[in-house]
Structure 1
Amino acid sequence: MLIESSAYASRWRDVAPSAKALFALAGFVAAWLAHSPVAFAALTAVLVLAALLGARVQLRSYIAVALPPLGFLLLSCLTMLLGPDANGHWNFTTAMLPTIEHLALRSFAMLAAMLGLVLTTPMPDLLNLLRRLRTPELLLDLMVLCYRMLFVMQQAWEESITAQSARLGYRNFRQAWRSTGLLAGQMAVQVWQRAAALQMAADARAYQGTLRFLPTAYPHASRQQAWAALAGALMLAIALGDRL
């Protein structure tokens, strides 16, 4: 929910999704081509500042969204420090440090490119862009259903929490623990019932396997794409200069 709310509140909300996707793609390619820590730092700084200063994404929201993948990356780097020695015993080793540093810096830059796209582009705009790029309709429909189910689960969870709180279900630790267990057990039933209701509503509207959204017009798309291409070319120049 935080990602979607940040996308709708972004100053780049009315920027063409194709321009933002082009900028993010250039960031991905530049991060893949870069080699030195200085180049990775420069690319990451450009991508992060573009989101924070250009799109005006709130710093707190940016950090909150970035923390889970950064935690996964940290855990992955720590596991790469483990390895067998000559006797076959597993312990920490520094042999992989250069590789870990390179992968971590590249991942930082690519994560910044991805966050810049998702935190400034709402899901319907991304789906319309993917449809224009000839993405299979089945994949798009699965994305829409998963996207909708997030809201269904959130609504079911919040309503259940409210009902339990009204019945003093969280008055002490023992009662709160019991209420949480009951809530977890009922969530599957609640979500299944609401998903069935959504399917009935779709069938009542003659759903034929394709979900459509009203497209949004972007009168300045060409100019925005040109600016995105220029900024992308700058990042590619940094990466190629570092490579050469």
Structure 2
Amino acid sequence: MIVIDKLCYNSRLRYENASEKFAFAVITLCICVMSRSAAVAGIVLAVTGILTVWKGGVPVLRYLKFLTVPLAFLFLSTIAIMFNLKRTPMDFFAIPIGNWYLTASFHSFFYAIQLILTALAAVSCLYFLSFTTPMPDILEVLKKLRCPKLLIELMLLIYRFIFVLLDIASAISTSQNCRLGNRNYKTSLKSFGLLGSVLMIRAVQRSNRLYDAMEARCYDGTIRVLSENQPPKKKVIVAIVLFDTALFIFAVWRRFFS
């Protein structure tokens, strides 16, 4: 089982209404991205982190570990924004390289920090939803929003096959380790290639078996999944409306009046 799913099913917010959590995460994410404000991103990052860790019960170190996953990509993607190669130095710093300068300005530096904070805040919104809401509940919310049935069924099947592929890959990897298939770099590369090819074949075989099983159970083009409907709470809805309204007003004020 994937670690995120373990944390999700053990979360103290697991049995809260899925529509409320979905609405909070999506609306907050949209406000954060559209505002392009470091202050708004900081508020969103703090609130979603507190809800996920304090209310949801996710371990702090585990949450921080997941939050650092996109940092490498963010740093690499902001290097091109922050640093410039020019003949004239800029106001933040400048490192001479022959007749050129590796330089940066205060504007580009703070813009890169703003992008990193906004991206982390957006990821924290998605983590809040992922760590507190199981996939079947998210699909049920999408069904209520009238998303195409084909899209929902594809998401369900992909979600299912993630576990199937992980199970097959784990079994093959264990078998290779028992046969010293990873004793050095050369054999590790060979084993990895064999694992990928066998995994592809096994995945096709399992998908065919799954479709045959669905046909044997009178599959009519719709996958029906039982869901647990939790009643919405008025105080939670009011809290979401008040927070997102205040966040939107603050974002507009920061964008146009500060």
Shorter-normalised TM-score: what interval?
A: 0.7 to 0.9
State the one-letter code of the partner of 1:132.
K
CA contact (8 A) 1:15 1:218 kept: yes
Indicate conservation of the 8 Å contact 1:31/1:40, yes or no. yes
Match of 1:94 in 2: 104
Aligned-pair CA distance for 1:181: 3.5
Which residue does 2:141 correspond to in 1?
Answer: 129
Unaligned runs of 5+ in 1: none
How many matched pairs? 243
Cα deviation for residue 163 of structure 1 reads 2.6
Note the C-alpha offset of 1:19: 0.9
Aligned counterparts of 2:160 and 2:206: Cα–Cα separation in 1: 11
Q: In structure 2, what residue type is equivalent to 1:105?
A: L
How far apart, in 2, do the equivalents of 1:90 and 1:212 lie?
Answer: 64
Q: TM-score, normalised by structure 2?
A: 0.81
- CA distance 1:158–1:99, change in 2 (3 Å): same
Taking structure 1 as the reference length, what is the TM-score of the superposition? 0.85
Q: Which runs of 5+ in 2 are unaligned?
A: 89-98
Structure 1 residues 224 and 155, CA gap change in structure 2 (3 angstroms): same
Higher normalized contact order (CA 8 Å, seq sep 6+, divided by chain length): 1
> Retained in 1: the 8 A contact 2:74–2:116?
yes
User: What is the alpha-carbon root mean square deviation over aligned residues?
Assistant: 2.8
Q: Percent identity?
A: 30
Q: Which residue of 1 aligns with 2:71?
A: 70
**SS in structure 1 opposite 2:6?**
helix
Deviates more, 1:9-18 or 1:170-179: 170-179
Q: Tell me if 1:114 matches 2:126.
A: yes
- Measured after TM superposition, the shift of residue 147 of structure 1 is 0.5
Secondary structure at the aligned position of 1:119 is classed as helix
> Helix, strand or coil for the counterpart of 2:224?
coil
Q: How does 1:138-177 map to 2 (within 5 A)?
A: 138-170=150-182, 175-177=187-189
Residue 13 of structure 1 is matched in structure 2 by 14
Q: Which amino acid aligns with 1:154?
A: L
In structure 2, distance between residues paired with 1:199 and 1:234: 49
What displacement does 1:60 show?
Answer: 3.3
After superposition, the Cα gap between the structure-2 partners of 1:93 and 1:172, relative to the gap in structure 1 and judged at 3 Å, is closer
